[in-house]
Amino acid sequence: MAIRKIITPPNPLLKQPSLKVQEVDDNIRALIRDMFDTMYAAPGIGLAAVQVGEPLSIIVMDIHSGDKDKEPRPYAMINPEVVWASDNKVTYQEGCLSVPDVYDEVERPAEVKVRWLDEQGNEREQLFTGLEAVCVQHEIDHTKGILFVDYLSRLKRERYLKKVIKRAQQEMTS
Ligand code: NI
């Protein structure tokens, strides 16, 4: 069990597309375990490998993370891809473990079908709705170097960038 450090802007890795995993091996499975440990410890409902400094196309998700009254719903997805998205949209207040203290509304397709490789290297495909649809799209965006703040209006992005600069300055002086 290992909890990894979660990177934050302006770390340039967060803006870079992740590499596809060529072979699902023990190193990949160990990384996925660390990602789950890190996500549950935060706690957060989703995490992409790039957020722990590994720019590989891998995400983990559990919308019941941090809720002891609910059964876990863990997903680990290697090379995930949205293969279908609904026309109807949903707006949800999003946050991100890599973007502390920023929460804002993002509009996305309400339902998506996702294809990925599981931890055994088998191809899987599933339709996601509700919060899982939002979360899986947010995490797949990370594998493309996209942060949810990239969808915000210019005014809101400027406010967010000020926070990033302020936090970076505080880290340098502390
Ligand atoms: Ni995120």
91-116 burial, b for 16+ CB within 10 Å, e for fewer? ebebebbbbeebebebebbbbbebeb
Cα 88 to Cα 92: distance, rounded to the nearest angstrom: 13
Q: What is the pLDDT of residue 114?
A: 99
| Residue 19, both tokens | 């590499």
User: Is 139 a known active-site residue?
Assistant: yes
Each residue's pLDDT expressed in tens, for the chain with a length of 174 residues:
799 999 999 999 999 999 999 999 999 999 999 999 999 999 999 999 999 999 999 999 999 999 989 999 999 999 999 999 999 999 999 999 999 889 999 999 999 999 999 999 999 999 999 999 999 999 999 999 999 999 999 999 999 889 888 888 888 887
Query: Which domains are delineated in the chain?
Result: 12-173 (3.90.45.10)
pTM of the model: 0.95
Q: How far is the C-alpha of 32 from the C-alpha of 78, rounded, in Å?
A: 9
**5 Cα to the center of ligand 1, angstroms:** 14
Cα 77 to averaged position of ligand 1 atoms, centre (Å): 15
